[in-house]
Amino acid sequence: MSQPRDIAVIVGSLRKASWNRKMAHALIALAPPALKLEIVEIGALPLYNPDEEDAGPPAAYTAFRERMHRVDGVIFATPEYNRSVPAPLKNAIDVGSRPYGKSVWSGKPAAVISVSPGALGAYGANHQLRQCFVFLDMPVLQQPEAYLGHADKMIDASGGFANDATRDFLTKFLGAFEAWIRKQRAAPPAA
């Protein structure tokens, strides 16, 4: 078998007991052999300031950018803060997008899972994130959409799936993402 795809999972919440982090771990456990998922942490990235970049980028930026340049795709797992993307996640996106012309995001296949304990499944954050991908030129998986509300009913106390429907849905989601990456990374047809 060929090497599995190297997939970064970026969690938009810094909370230790985060539902999004629990969902990310559940996804990692569920990933098919063709995908190797790993959480790439964003909590130590200083707030983006172009002046600091000009003075020499902080080591945390360089490490993050180097890691993200290497990955074959990205899964974002995000909560919604005030109907938008949480600041740490937006900051990570901004850090990865610079220096101008050297964005880590260009052409990188992406997928979004938004998770909340409420009913709406962080729909607003999910779509605000997608708005960034237009400018960043990230081909993002469209279907199945993943707005995971009532997270407390999906993940049990040990971090496992609380029901088969959630497991089945996420299995389908990962299968679709694997096919999406294959399509995006396929060699163009010969002229």
Instruction: Report the residue from 118, 156, 165, 185 that binds ligand FMN according to the rule CB under 6 A.
Output: 118
3-state DSSP assignment of residue 32: coil
Asked if 120 is part of the footprint of ligand FMN (rule: CB under 6 A), the reply reads: yes
Q: Which is nearer to ligand FMN, 80 or 178 (CB)?
A: 80
- Measured from the Cβ of residue 113, the count of other Cβ atoms closer than 10 Å reads 25
How many residues touch ligand FMN (CB under 6 A)? 16
Contact region with ligand FMN (CB under 6 A), list: 1-9, 25-33, 96-104, 112-120: 112-120
Beta-carbon contacts of residue 174 (< 8 Å; ≥ 6 apart):
27, 30, 31, 32, 35
By beta carbon distance, the residue nearest ligand FMN is 79
DSSP string across 132-160: HHHHHT--B--SS--EE--GGGTB-TTSS
Among 18, 128, 171, 184, binds ligand FMN (CB under 6 A): 18
Query: In sequence order, which residues have a C-beta less than 8 Å from that of residue 23 and are 6 or more positions away?
Result: 77, 113, 115, 148, 151, 154, 155
CA distance 116 to 149: 5
Least CB distance from residue 59 to ligand FMN, whole Å? 27
Residue 157 binds ligand FMN, judged by CB under 6 A: no
Q: How far is the CB of 149 from ligand FMN (least distance, A)?
A: 8
171 interacts with ligand FMN by CB under 6 A = no
